[in-house]
Amino acid sequence: MLLTLQVTTFYDVIRFHKIPMAKRPFIRKQKKKTHGTTFWDKEYKEASHLKLSSDHSEDLEKFTRYIIRQKRGDILAQTASVLDVGCGNGRNIIFLAREFGMKGIGYDISVSAIDQAKAASADYAIDYTARSIAGPLDVPDNSQTLVLDMMTSHFLNQKERQTLRDEIYRVLVPGGFLFMKTFLADEDLHTRRLLRDFPGKETGSYVHPVIGVDEYVYSLEALTEFLSEKFIVHKIYKSHKHVLKGKARKRRTVSIYVEKDYTNR
């Protein structure tokens, strides 16, 4: 008599007894996040989180009208130079070159942004460098009539922000201007939520949930006190579309015009 050896497996038992198998839980595939410099390079190649415009800032244009009304044409003269710390694709420094004939220097941490800026600036005397704005700036003393810090220095820590402020003071000519735009904490519900849910290392900072780096947000009092140590504050403009019927709308920002105070420093 021939005996056949039959191997019974776990799955044979399952099929014979019709025992239902547990389904594997569905796990949604997570997108790989990019942070810091890598994030900005990716955004400038193919924006997925932020709306990156090639048009110049209306706030900057407003500032130029103020300068003209103050009869400070020297700030925007053809012989003058502007430094943009955080120039992105060059849109604002290109505006100043096109409208007023200014020369310029642009810094940005993103290589992709600098490549775009260079391509768009072929007809202008603008020198771009891909670098961080933390630490000393490779710009001569008293060489710039205008410096732009537009939504940039809030990525720096306290020591780096102070160093940048002092470096801006150093490179500005006597009577030169800093035009700064940044987020404003006062009455901003978005800032309140971010500080609560994603606290950063420094008081008044949070870790950006998408970019993954710390951002610092000034109160108006803290910002004016910080800049007044080196500069004369001339104008402050706060945005006002941050709240509607008690609900958060746009992030609140502040634009501030300050002049190098060279008389008592």
pLDDT tens, residue order, the chain (265 aa):
444 445 455 555 445 555 555 555 544 444 445 555 676 456 655 654 555 667 899 999 999 999 999 999 999 999 999 999 999 999 999 999 999 999 999 999 999 999 999 999 999 999 999 999 999 999 999 999 999 999 999 999 999 999 999 999 999 999 999 999 999 999 999 999 999 999 999 999 999 998 889 999 999 999 999 999 999 999 999 998 776 667 767 899 999 999 998 665 4
Q: Which contiguous run of DSSP H or E holds residue 97? A: helix 91-100
The answer to whether residue 81 sits within a structural domain is no
252 in a structural domain: yes
- The answer to whether residues 92 and 156 touch, using CB atoms and an 8 Å cutoff, is no
Residue 38 falls within a domain, yes or no?
A: no
DSSP, res 22: P
pTM metric for this prediction? 0.81
- Residue 32: inside a domain: no
pLDDT of residue 29: 45
pLDDT at 249: 77
Residue 232: inside a domain: yes
Provide the number of structural domains found in the chain. 1
Question: Would residue 119 count as lying in a domain?
Answer: no
Expressed as residue numbers, the domain containing 234 is: 132-260
Q: Whole-angstrom Cα distance, residue 19 to residue 70?
A: 85
Q: What is the pLDDT of residue 177?
A: 98
Residue 171 counted as domain residue:
yes
Residue 214, beta-bridge partner list: 207
> For residue 5, what pLDDT is reported?
47
Q: What is the pLDDT of residue 28?
A: 46
Q: Residues 235, 256: contact at Cβ < 8 Å?
A: yes
- Residue 71 forms part of a structural domain: no
Residue 248 structure tokens: 């958060």
Write a three-state SS string for 131-163: CCCCCCCCCCCCCEEEEEEECCHHHCCHHHHHH
The CATH number of the domain holding residue 199 is: 3.40.50.150
